[in-house]
């Protein structure tokens, strides 16, 4: 009886155990190395690129900018009196730093009920979905990393209202995202010479 109970507990623990999370890459600026070491990330990025018409280098650059490939990334906590940790600045979480509200919209719109923000495949699919909406709602080109990131950071309403125009900080973030996308694009072209797989390029 005791043995059965132990087996049952073991099975339950396996069922509720969280999925294995990949460690952040040692060099987040070398996308060819990252994808060659994380085959599942490579496949997920290619799938999202195909599904949403999102250039692979842009989706990957957004994840680099948002979380530097840290699965359970969260915004830093605010501090009371400069020392006491308080609430976080937003509900953003995971690889894509998706907020609770945006993630809820994503699940409803795609019908994907069991997606997780700390799952790389789900996160990069979310970015593809969001950029697809930005393209449709704001008439942004899907290869325009700079403006797509502005819409990603500000939200569609914030972008259309031009809240970012007077913020050098926000425009700086978008420039960094676009610069990262350009770097990844060049690196992925070099990967092309090492493999015939079309999926490297989205």
**SS3 annotation, 104-146:** HHHHHHHCCCCCCCCCHHHHHHHHHHHHHHHHHHHCCCCCCHH
> d(Cα 159, Cα 177) in Å, to the nearest integer?
16
pLDDT tens, residue by residue, 146-181: 999 999 999 999 999 999 999 999 999 999 999 999
Q: How far is CA 160 from CA 54, 142, 150, 152, 172, in A?
A: 21, 17, 10, 12, 18
Q: Closest Cα to residue 49, out of 61, 37, 36? A: 61
Residue 9 has pLDDT above 50, yes or no: no
φ/ψ bin of 99: left (φ > 0), alpha (ψ from -120 to 50), beta (otherwise): beta
Domain boundaries, the chain: 31-195
The per-type count for the chain, helices as H runs and strands as E runs, is 8, 2
Q: Decide if 107 contacts 126 (C-beta within 8 A).
A: no
- The predicted model gives 58-82 an average pLDDT of 82
**pLDDT band per the 50, 70, 90 thresholds, residue 191:** confident
Q: Residue 89's pLDDT is what?
A: 60
Instruction: State the chain's mean pLDDT as an integer.
Output: 84
- Running DSSP on this structure, what letter comes out for residue 141? -
**pLDDT band per the 50, 70, 90 thresholds, residue 15:** very low
Q: Decide if 156 contacts 149 (C-beta within 8 A).
A: no
List the CATH code of the domain at 31-195.
Answer: 1.10.530.10
**pLDDT band per the 50, 70, 90 thresholds, residue 18:** very low
């Amino acid at each position: 009886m005791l043995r059965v109970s132990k087996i049952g507990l073991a099975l339950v623990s396996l069922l509720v155990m969280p999925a294995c999370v990949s460690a952040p890459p040692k060099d987040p600026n070398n996308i060819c190395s990252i994808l060659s070491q994380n085959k599942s990330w490579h496949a997920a990025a290619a799938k999202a690129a195909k599904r949403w018409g999102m250039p692979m280098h842009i989706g990957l650059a957004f994840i680099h900018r948002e979380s530097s490939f840290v699965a359970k990334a969260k915004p830093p906590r605010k501090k009371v009196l400069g020392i006491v940790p308080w609430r976080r600045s937003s509900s953003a979480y995971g690889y894509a730093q998706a907020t609770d509200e945006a993630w809820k919209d994503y699940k409803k719109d795609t019908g994907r009920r069991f997606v997780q923000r700390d799952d790389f495949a789900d996160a990069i699919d979310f970015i593809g979905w969001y950029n697809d909406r930005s393209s449709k709602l704001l008439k942004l080109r899907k290869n325009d990393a700079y403006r797509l990131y502005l819409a990603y950071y500000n939200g569609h309403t914030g972008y259309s209202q031009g809240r970012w125009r007077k913020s050098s900080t926000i425009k700086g973030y978008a420039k960094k995202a676009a610069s990262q996308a350009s770097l990844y694009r060049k690196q992925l072209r070099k990967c092309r010479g090492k493999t015939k797989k079309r999926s490297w390029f989205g």
